[in-house]
Amino acid sequence: MENDKRVRLFVDSAVRKELEQRRLSDEEIQRTISLSEKTGKKFVHPVTGHFLAGARQDKVTIWVEYAPREDGFDIYKAYQYRLEVFAWDLKTGNTRGD
């Protein structure tokens, strides 16, 4: 968790307002980015090059759209869902949780 706080965030004032309205903390965003960067589990937008990463934290999944920069990460959007994301095995047709 301490390493997550080393993830430096750069947040535009309009985005900051959205984050506050959605009650998303910097710590939740830092945790999501830290996990994504460590595991490589993230989507890449083909036009903007922004990353989209999700991480299950307690009973919600936090999603963050971000881009790396030399001294941290630019945050473009973040939101949360109270759902659980399952993987679908193409070979067996079964789903499995984390």
Q: In Å, what is the CA distance from 53 to each residue of 35, 77, 90?
A: 9, 11, 22
Q: What is the pLDDT of residues 18-73, one digit of tens each?
A: 999 999 999 999 999 999 999 999 999 999 999 999 999 888 999 999 999 999 99
pTM beyond 0.85: no
Q: Per DSSP, what are the bridge partners of residue 79?
A: 63
What's the token pair of residue 20? 């506050």
User: How many CB atoms lie under 10 A from the CB of residue 55?
Assistant: 20
CATH of domain 3-96: 3.30.2310
Q: What residues does each domain of the chain span? A: 3-96
Taking alpha carbons only, the member of 57, 59, 76, 60 closest to residue 68 is 76
